[in-house]
Amino acid sequence: MFPQVGRIVNDAEGRFLDALYRGVTDSEQFQHALNLLQGIFECRSAVLVMVDAQHPRANFVSSSGVVHEHLQLYLEKYASIDPAPGRFLSLPAGTAVTTNQLFTPEQRAADRFYNEYFVPVGLVESIGGPLYSEQGNFALVAIMRGADRCAFDDNDIAHLERLMPHIARALQLRRTFFRIDSRNVGLQATLDRLRPGLALLSGDGSTEFVNAALRGMAQRGDGFALGRNDQILAANVDARRRLDALLTDVATGGGGGVVAVPRGGVHDYVVLVAPSPSSSAQTEWERRGRSGAIVIVHDPEENDGDTSAMLEQGLRLTKGAARLTAALAAQHDLKSFAEAEGITIHTARFHLRSALARTGAKTQAELVRIAVRLLRDFALADPVPGAERKPAMLTFEKYHPAGK
C-alpha cells in the first residue's frame, strides 16, 4: 500500500501510484508510472529529474513521450539553456506552475530553447514544480502538452500538486534504496574477490549468499556441490554429516567448528562454520530465534598467484629477495628454492640477508611472519598490475605437482 498523502480520485491515479511505489525498487515500474502520469494529463511528455549531491551516481533523468524520443539532443545541446527548471526550483516544494504563467508570450517568442527545441518536437507548454530541495539534493517534475491539448488551468495545477507529495516520497525512498543497494553490491563484489569460499546462511538454513570462489569449487565437483537454492553439499557422506551437525549446532546457539572435506586433490578442504553476527536492525525477539551461519572453505591447493610481486612492492625487496621470501612463506627452504631457481645456496643466502636487512627482521622466522601477515591481509587483491612474471615460478604446483 502507498502512503495516504492527498486523495485518490480515480482508477488512473490508483494505477499510477501503484506503479510509482513499485518503482522504488523496479526501474521498469518507475518508467511505467511516468507513462501513466503523462496519460493522466493527456499530454505528450513527462519528465522527472533527481540530483543527489552526496551520491552523484544516484542522479537521473527519466522521461516519456516526445522528450524521451529527443532526450539525447536535449542533454547535448539544450539542457544548459532551458529556462524552465531554474524557475521551477525557485518555487516552494510541492508547488506547481505553468510556463505560460512564468514567461510572457514575448519572452517565449524570443527564447532560443523554446524555438529551437521545444516547439520543433511538438510541445507548446509545461506544467511542473519542485518535489523537494535540501542540502544540494533536489527533484522536479514537469509535464508537457502539445497544441492538440488545451492550455493548463488551475484545475491541472491543483491536480498535479495533489500527486507531487507521492512522487517526492517515492523518489526519496528510491534514493535511500539506491544507497543501500550500492553498498550491498560493493560488499558482494568484495566477497567475490576473496580466495576462500564463503557462504552466508539464514537462521532457517537457507543460503543467502555464495561467493565466486565457492561456486568455482562446486563447479569443479571435487568435494563440494551446490544443491537446490544453493544448499551446500559435501560429496563425502561422513563429511556431509559432520558439516550438517555443525550447522545445526550454530543454529541452536552453538559456536560451530571446523571440518575437513575430502576432495580429489592431495589436501582436503578445511571448512569453518561459525555463527553470523546479529544485525543491529533485528529486534530482541528476532535475536532469540535460530542463528544464521557463516561457512568459510579453505582450499590448501589454491594457487596464490604472483605473491613475490606483492612482497617486492609491499616490503621494498629486490626481485630475488622477494621470490625467496615468497618461497619461505609457502613453507619451502633455502635449498629447495635454490634448486628450483637454478642458483647456488650462497646466492639464496644473499637474498635472505637482503630481505632481513630491508624488512628489519632479525630472523628467518620473523621474516616469514611479516610476509604471511601481508599476504593474508591482501588475500582478496588481484595480482599486481604490470608486475613482471615468470612462468610456473613459485607457484604451489611447481613444488607440489598434482597427483604426486
Q: pLDDT tens, 335-389?
A: 999 998 999 999 999 999 999 999 999 999 999 999 888 877 665 444 433 333 3
- Rg over CA atoms, the chain: 32
Residue with grid cell 522528450, as numbered in its chain: 67
For the chain, which domains are there? 11-184 (3.30.450.40), 195-298 (3.30.450.20), 307-399 (no CATH)
Q: Which residues pair with 295 in a beta bridge?
A: 199, 273
Collapse the DSSP code of 222 into the 3-class scheme (helix H, G, I; strand E, B; otherwise coil) and give the result. coil
Q: What is the pLDDT of residue 189?
A: 79
| C-alpha grid cell, residue 326 | 615468497
Q: Give the position of cell 534514493.
A: 175
Q: Are strands 232-234 and 224-226 parallel, antiparallel or unpaired?
A: antiparallel
Q: List, edge to edge, every strand of the sheet that includes 137-145.
A: 60-64, 45-51, 137-145, 125-134, 97-98
What are the beta bridge partners of residue 259? 271
Vertex 321, ends 319 and 327: CA angle to 5°? 105
pLDDT at 281: 43
Residues of the chain with pLDDT > 70, as a percent, come to 83
Helices (H), 10-153: 11-22, 27-40, 65-69, 71-73, 84-89, 99-102, 105-110, 112-113
Phi, psi of 391 (to 5 degrees): -65, 140
Question: Could you write out the DSSP letters of every residue in 34-70?
Answer: HHHHHHHTT-SEEEEEEE-SS-GGG-EEEEEHHHHHT
Give the model's pLDDT for residue 202: 87
Predicted local distance difference test score (pLDDT) of residue 267:
83
From the centroid of its chain, how far is CA 378? 20
Residue 240 near residue 250, CB atoms below 8 Å: no
The DSSP H or E segment spanning 188 is helix 154-193
Helix (H, G, I), strand (E, B) or coil at 363: coil
- pTM (2 decimals)? 0.53
Q: What is the DSSP letter of 175?
A: H
Q: How many C-beta neighbours within 10 Å does residue 156 have?
A: 20
Per-residue pLDDT of the chain (404 residues; tens, 9 = 90+): 334 434 445 788 989 999 999 888 888 998 999 999 999 999 999 999 888 766 666 567 889 999 999 999 998 999 999 999 999 999 999 999 999 999 999 999 999 999 999 999 999 999 999 998 877 788 999 999 999 999 999 999 999 999 999 999 988 888 777 777 666 777 777 788 777 889 999 888 889 889 888 998 898 888 889 988 899 999 999 999 999 999 999 988 888 898 999 987 678 888 999 988 765 444 454 455 577 899 988 887 765 556 888 888 888 999 999 999 988 988 889 999 999 899 999 999 999 999 999 999 999 999 999 988 887 766 544 443 333 333 333 332 333 333 33
Summarised one tens digit per residue, pLDDT across range 275-308 is 887 654 444 544 555 778 999 888 877 655 568 8
Instruction: Provide CB contacts within 8 A for 232, sequence distance 6+.
Output: 199, 207, 210, 214, 224, 226, 243, 295
DSSP 362: S
